Structure 1
Amino acid sequence: MALDPEDQKTIEKYALQNAVKYEAVPQAKAVMGKIMGVCPHLRARVPEVSDTIADITAQMEKETPAQWEERLIALAPELLDELSVKKEPDKGLKPLPGADTGKVVMRFAPNPNGPPTIGSSRGMIVNSEYVKMYDGRFILRFDDTDPEQKRPMPEAYDWYVDDFKWLGVTPDQVVIASDRLDKYYEIAFQLIDLEKAYVCFCEGETFKSLKDKKQACPHRETSAAVNRAHFEKMLSGGFEEREAVLRIKTDIMHKDPAMRDWGAFRILKKSHPRPSVGSKYVVWPLLDFEGAIEDHLLKTTHIIRGKDLQDSEKRQKYIYDYLGWIYPKTMHWGRVRIEEFGKLSTSGIRASIEAGEYTGWDDPRLPTIRAIRRRGILADALRKFIVEMGVGETDVSISMDSLYAENRKFVDPIAHRMFFVENPVEMKIEGLGKTVAKPPLHPDNHAVTREICVDGKVFVTAEDVSAMAAGSKIRLKDLANVEIVSTTPLVAKFLDTSPESAKKSKMKIIHWAPVDGVCVTVLGPEKNSGGIGERQILTELDHVVQFERFGFCRIDAIDGDRVTAYFTHK
Structure 2
Amino acid sequence: MEREVYELAYKHALKNAVEHGGKASVGAVMGKVLVERPDLKEKAKEIIPVIKKAVEDVNALPLARQKEEMENYDYSSLRKREKKGLPELPNVRGKVVTRFSPEPGGYIHLGNLRSALVSYLYAEKYGGQFILRFEDTNPAKPKLPYYDAIREDLRAVGIEWDKEVIESDRMDIYYGYARKLIESGGGYVCTCSAEEMRRKRAEKEGCIHRNNAVEENLELWDSMLEGAFGEGEAVLRLKIDPSHPNPALRDPVLFRIVTSVPHPRTGYRYHVYPLYNFACAVEDGLGVTHVLRGKEHQANGKIQRVIQRILGLATPEYVHFGRINVEDKDSSVPMGKRYIRQALREGIIEGWGDVRVPTVRSLLNRGILPETLREFIEEIGPKKSDIHVDMEHIYGINRKKLDERAKRYFFVEEPVELIVEGAPEVEARLPYHPNHLDYGERVYRFREGEHRVYISKKDLPEPGEEVRLMSLYNIRVEETGETVKARYAGDELRGKKIQWVPVIADAIDAEVLHPSGRKMLGVIEWYAQELREGDIVQLERVCFARVRSNQGEKITFYWAHR
Distance 1:421 1:217 in 2: 71
Aligned residue in 2 for 1:376: 367
Distance 1:113 1:201 in 2: 30
Aligned residue in 1 for 2:478: 485
Map 1:308-319 onto structure 2 (within 5 A). 308-319=296-307
**What letter is aligned with 1:457?**
R
**Unaligned runs of at least 5 residues, structure 1:** 1-88
Distance 1:192 1:273 in 2: 26
Q: Which of 365, 385, 394 pairs up with 1:394? A: 385
**2:254/2:274 contact within 8 Å kept:** yes
Normalised TM-score (structure 2): 0.80
1:494 Cα shift? 2.6
Aligned residue in 2 for 1:175: 165
Distance 1:452 1:267 in 2: 71
Matched, 1:260 2:250: yes
1:414 Cα shift? 0.3
1:205 Cα shift? 2.6
**Closer/same/farther in 2, CA of residues 246 and 508 from structure 1, 3 Å limit:** same
Distance 2:87 2:135 in 1: 27
1:486 Cα shift? 2.3
Q: Please, which moves more after superposition, 453-462 or 346-355?
A: 453-462
Aligned residue in 2 for 1:425: 416
Distance 2:344 2:203 in 1: 44
Aligned residue in 1 for 2:338: 347
**What letter is aligned with 2:318?**
T
Map 1:492-507 onto structure 2 (within 5 A). 492-496=486-490, 498=491, 501-502=492-493, 506-507=494-495
**What letter is aligned with 2:443?**
E
Q: Which of 507, 511, 515 pairs up with 1:521? A: 511
Map 1:68-87 onto structure 2 (within 5 A). none
**1:513/1:532 contact within 8 Å kept:** yes
Matched, 1:282 2:271: yes
Map 1:323-362 onto structure 2 (within 5 A). 323-340=311-328, 344-362=335-353
1:324 Cα shift? 2.3
Aligned residue in 2 for 1:72: none
Aligned residue in 1 for 2:92: 99
Map 1:117-266 onto structure 2 (within 5 A). 117-148=109-140, 151-266=141-256
**Closer/same/farther in 2, CA of residues 316 and 539 from structure 1, 3 Å limit:** same
Q: Which of 458, 464, 484 pairs up with 2:459? A: 464
1:536 Cα shift? 1.8
Distance 1:557 1:161 in 2: 24
1:538 Cα shift? 2.0
Distance 2:541 2:83 in 1: 36
Aligned residue in 2 for 1:538: 529
**2:326/2:388 contact within 8 Å kept:** yes
Aligned residue in 1 for 2:357: 366
**What letter is aligned with 1:475?**
R
Distance 2:478 2:198 in 1: 83
**What letter is aligned with 1:441?**
Y
Distance 2:548 2:529 in 1: 11
Moved over 6 A (4+): none
**2:109/2:335 contact within 8 Å kept:** no
**What letter is aligned with 2:273?**
W
**Secondary structure in 1 matching 2:555:** strand
Q: Which of 304, 310, 320 pairs up with 1:322? A: 310
1:155 Cα shift? 0.7
**1:459/1:513 contact within 8 Å kept:** yes
Overall identity of the aligned pairs, in %: 37
1:251 Cα shift? 2.7
**Unaligned runs of at least 5 residues, structure 2:** 1-81
1:479 Cα shift? 2.1
Q: Which of 505, 512, 523 pairs up with 2:500? A: 512
**What letter is aligned with 1:178?**
S
Q: Please, which moves more after superposition, 218-227 or 408-417?
A: 218-227
**1:200/1:244 contact within 8 Å kept:** yes
1:275-309 per-position Cα deviation (integer Å, ceiling 9, x unaligned): x4011111111101111111122x11001122121
Distance 1:468 1:92 in 2: 54
**2:410/2:525 contact within 8 Å kept:** yes
Distance 2:555 2:222 in 1: 61
1:153 Cα shift? 1.8
RMSD: 2.1
Distance 2:263 2:554 in 1: 39
1:134 Cα shift? 0.7
1:492-548 per-position Cα deviation (integer Å, ceiling 9, x unaligned): 22344x4xx22xxx2222110111331001101122101011122222221111111
**Closer/same/farther in 2, CA of residues 235 and 433 from structure 1, 3 Å limit:** farther
1:352-371 per-position Cα deviation (integer Å, ceiling 9, x unaligned): 20110112111111011111
Distance 2:221 2:90 in 1: 39
Distance 1:123 1:454 in 2: 56
Distance 1:249 1:157 in 2: 34
**Secondary structure in 1 matching 2:282:** helix
Q: Please, which moves more after superposition, 286-295 or 217-226?
A: 217-226
**Secondary structure in 2 matching 1:442:** coil
**What letter is aligned with 1:285?**
P
**1:556/1:564 contact within 8 Å kept:** yes
**Secondary structure in 1 matching 2:210:** coil
Distance 1:120 1:234 in 2: 35
**What letter is aligned with 1:172?**
D
Aligned residue in 1 for 2:42: none
**Closer/same/farther in 2, CA of residues 495 and 278 from structure 1, 3 Å limit:** same
Distance 1:362 1:180 in 2: 31
1:216 Cα shift? 2.4
**Secondary structure in 1 matching 2:205:** coil
**1:140/1:174 contact within 8 Å kept:** yes
Matched, 1:562 2:551: no
1:129-162 per-position Cα deviation (integer Å, ceiling 9, x unaligned): 11111111111111111122xx112111111111
Distance 1:453 1:218 in 2: 90
**1:520/1:565 contact within 8 Å kept:** yes
1:560 Cα shift? 2.0
**What letter is aligned with 1:327?**
T
